[in-house]
Amino acid sequence: MSSRRDRARDNGSGTGESPGQRAASPARGPRSAKAQASSVQSVERAVSVLEILAEQGEAGVTEIAEELDVHRSTAFRLLGVLENRGLVSQAQDRGKYFLGAGVLRLAGAAAVRLDISQEGAPLCRELADELGETVNIAVLDDDAAVNIMQARGSASVTAQNWLGRRTPLHATSSGKVLLAHQPPALREGLLARTLPRFTDHTVTGAGALRDQLRTIEERGFALAMEELEIGLTAVAAPVRAHDGKVIGALSISGPVFRLTEERLRELAKRAVDRADELSRRMGYAL
């Protein structure tokens, strides 16, 4: 397609510079601007390969090279890298290429976030309206919890916006729920680190955190009492996919003068009930 050809030329087919430009460019060390531009160009081309295969279903090396306006050897190298990462596959030896299972894995991860956010939005808004507090849905993002859905109740109009924020697993109710249901290797990897202390209430000791995570698994919810910020408390419960895997956490949060530990324990059932309802909508049979 002309747009892909244009991008390939703009980012530099071959060197991307005229002879005069190359002669005038001074050496800039091991990571020069030219090297950085080359890396960006490679990423651009790799994405274009995936787009071509998505549009055409399958394509050979020569076809892809023509689409990108690059040499056949360049297209072959790009396909080799993508094949090694599982993003493309080859029908047979020296045959045409098509999108691989790795693309489905990436798409599935994105779909889970979209699905849980879309399905959870009405439940969160309803619960926030009932309680007047803030209700969030968070998912695991590497070594943090990221909030992908937020609904505010009438009493939380001055509360800060948590949407899109990455929060520590060990200092938040959602993070603890997510961490408690991860494979042991992931949990122990986090516990082996020096965990930051945000307030005097933050639990940073590996032994104490292990005990908390065990309790969370047993009772089905997590509390966080001023562990991330002074004055902020929360309770969270796990959200499961159709196969029972925990894919998110639904939390209720608010100021400590309203949501005392006693009140949070009362609200734990509300959080669990709504998280269970969301799990059912995600295909989990309770």
pLDDT in tens, 166-202: 899 999 999 999 999 999 988 999 899 999 999 999 9
- CA 280, 249, 159: angle at the middle one, nearest 5? 125
Q: Give the 3-state secondary structure of residue 14.
A: coil
Identify the pLDDT of residue 137. 94
CATH architecture of 107-281: 2-Layer Sandwich (3.30)
Segment 210-252, tens digit of pLDDT = 999 999 999 999 999 999 999 999 999 999 988 899 999 999 9
| Nearest-angstrom CA–CA distance, 284 and 230 | 36
Q: Is the dihedral of CA 243, 138, 163, 256 positive or negative?
A: positive
Percent of the chain, pLDDT > 70? 80
Q: Which helix or strand (DSSP H or E) is residue 147 part of?
A: strand 144-151
Top-level CATH class of 2-99?
mainly alpha
0.75 exceeded by pTM: no
Domain segments of the chain: what residues?
A: 2-99, 107-281
Q: What percent of the chain has pLDDT over 90?
A: 50
What is the band of 103 on the pLDDT scale with cuts at 50, 70, 90?
Answer: confident
End-to-end CA distance of the chain: 50
